Structure 1
Amino acid sequence: MDETIRSLAGDLRTADMAVALTGAGVSTASGIPSFRGDDGIWGDEFDPESFHIRRFETDPVGFWEDRIRLREHMRPSAVEPNAAHKALARLEACGGLSAVITQNTDGLHSAAGSSGVLELHGNAQRVICHRCGERRDSEWAFEVAKGSGDPPTCSCGGIYKPAVVLFGESLDPDSMSEARRLVAGSDVLLVAGTSLQVDPAASLPAQRQGATLAVINLETTPFTANADYDIREDVT
């Protein structure tokens, strides 16, 4: 394993453009549970349909009640970036990483110091008015919703929604286009903490143009068999 890590480190040092693609496994060590899998939160306690854009539009009060419960479950107090977030930030700082493409919405890559972060599914630390597009901090929105029992409302009369991609919504096409561009231009693609089961992010490794592929994940992925580096370890 040590030789594998040294070899990968060498490839990262010599790459003109290295890109990381991360998923929920990067943040579990920070106390944030994954959505899917045996220990995932989708199941008996939380129904994905409760967080569908249709529910937000037809029952915003109920949506925000469930969103508060989800946030309290998903994001315990004093959540901090873990060793994986910090390692990727250090790698970027020393010129070994050009960008982080993440499926996570927790904002921990940026909190760790990474600047080139592309958040495919949005950022749960922000809310956006569904009518005019104004953005605010999610902490304010949750305090309003918890205190009044009503969904947070914009001055334009629109209701704020979490600035994340809800079920029933499409990923931002500009973000996906940029993600594909980054992957296609990379010399090394580092896939970390994701099982690559959910499209369209799951298809990104197929966009690489001869790049060295390193997969660091406890479970196999659809791209494991073709990976240059298959590291079955906890990414942290």
Structure 2
Amino acid sequence: MAQRPAPRPREAFVLAGQVVGSVAPGFLQQIDPARLAGQGGRLRQHSGAWHLEAAPEARTAARTAALNALAVALRDAQLCGPWRNEQLAVCNPQGERLATVERGAVRVLGVGTCAVHLVGLASDGRMWVQQRARDKPNDPGLWDTLMGGMVGAADTLAQALARETWEEAGLRVADLAGVAHGGHVLLERPSSDGGGAGYMVERIDWFRARLPDGMLPCNQDGEVQRFELLPPSTLRAWLVQGLFTLEASLVIAGFLGL
């Protein structure tokens, strides 16, 4: 686990009686609770925690509506991350899904997320890496694994792997050789979302695969600037120089056994 604590202790964020995240002290006091009333949500502070209640609390749809009403209020107050129109799962500590919420709100609410990465290898052992587009909201211009993306609320891990591999690298997973789950890393660290009020909690599952000779990655979604094929010596040097995102560094270190 790569863990860096928040600069100040965070307050629990509770949905329908279950802890699903955390918020910076005083952060949600900037939101008018009346903004949630139209979706049946009630936001209140109690015993050092923030509670979002939905009626009826037992229904996933009601919890999702209340959460997304809060996300819209945060967006309108310019207190969330980049808006993606993408829903991510919101789970309790036991991993049970309670609701979904807009991706742009997960960091400021300290909601745990899941991501997937692909370590792509050539037959000679070199590794394919991508440089992130310079207009990406997070880590622009840094280097990444061949593919790295979020697991959406409607995705299985395999579906996210397939979709993101196509969107970022223009490759079909079925055309790759030796596709295998390599491991996972856990990441907890402060986030710049919400003016620095965010906190990232993420599980990254990574896979490895070999690209057949002659097969080249080709970006489809405009989020990659270019690809490079690196020998192990250069890969290690770039890691030391801090040219990779933190997430990619952890994945590559896991692959290399560092």
The normalised TM-score by structure 1 is 0.25
Higher helix share: 1
Higher relative contact order (CA 8 A, sep 6+): 1
Higher strand share: 2
The normalised TM-score by structure 2 is 0.23
Q: Select the structure of larger CA radius of gyration.
A: 2
